[in-house]
């Protein structure tokens, strides 16, 4: 977006949590070069949450590894669906997990100690590990690698996925799905359109 705004003489404002000395960041860590930024606003840490629910989780930023096993899902319809979906997985598959019920597939695979036989991914760029769920959806813990989102979608669109478990708001017996509108909210399709 900043490239488009900059090229059309728009103003690019970057909100940051802290400032670093000029040229002190490793060039490969810079996602938006200073030549594309007109103004920098330093904002307090509470405005830099990593998800809707969590301010900071060092396991989701690969600073630490989480314990070997994660919280188990309670037995209920969500776990039954997740377990049935997990039965469709084959060794060495690369799998996309959507938000909602699909989140449970990795949790169930971890419970059954078969998670290492597959590579779970999310649109956010995660490869491997167990994705966080609910309002933390997107990041993962104990993942193998992280791609930028646009690169992740290039991977998906290029045929990199073997299986997908997609979330939806509504579906009917004809196979029609609604992924964008959950009354009264308009949530957007996420990666559903590209991935399906």
Q: Is the dihedral of CA 194, 10, 28, 46 positive or negative?
A: negative
Catalytic one of 17, 46, 111, 123: 123
Burial call 14-29: b when 16+ CB within 10 Å, e when fewer: eeeeeeeeeeeeeeee
Bridge partner list, 146? 126
CB atoms closer than 10 angstroms to residue 47 = 9
**74 catalytic residue (yes or no):** no
Q: Is the dihedral of CA 115, 63, 74, 82 positive or negative?
A: negative
Residues with active-site annotation: 123
């Amino acid at each position: 977006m900043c490239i488009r705004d900059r090229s059309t003489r728009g103003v690019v404002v970057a909100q940051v949590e802290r400032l670093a000395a000029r040229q002190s960041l490793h060039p490969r860590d810079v996602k938006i070069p200073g030549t594309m930024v007109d103004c920098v606003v330093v904002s307090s840490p509470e405005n830099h949450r990593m998800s809707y629910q969590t301010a900071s989780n060092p396991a989701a930023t690969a600073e630490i590894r989480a314990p070997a096993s994660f919280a188990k899902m309670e037995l209920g319809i969500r776990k039954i669906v997740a377990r049935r979906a997990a039965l469709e997985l084959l060794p060495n598959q690369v799998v996309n997990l959507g938000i909602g019920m699909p989140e449970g597939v990795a949790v169930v695979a971890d419970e059954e100690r078969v998670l290492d036989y597959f590579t779970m991914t999310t649109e956010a760029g995660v490869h491997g590990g167990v994705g966080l769920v609910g309002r933390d959806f997107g990041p993962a813990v104990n993942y193998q690698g992280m791609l930028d989102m646009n690169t992740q979608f290039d991977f998906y669109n290029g045929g990199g996925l073997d299986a997908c478990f997609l979330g939806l708001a509504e579906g009917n017996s004809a196979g029609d799905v609604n992924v964008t509108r959950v009354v009264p909210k308009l949530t957007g399709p996420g990666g559903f359109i590209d991935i399906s």
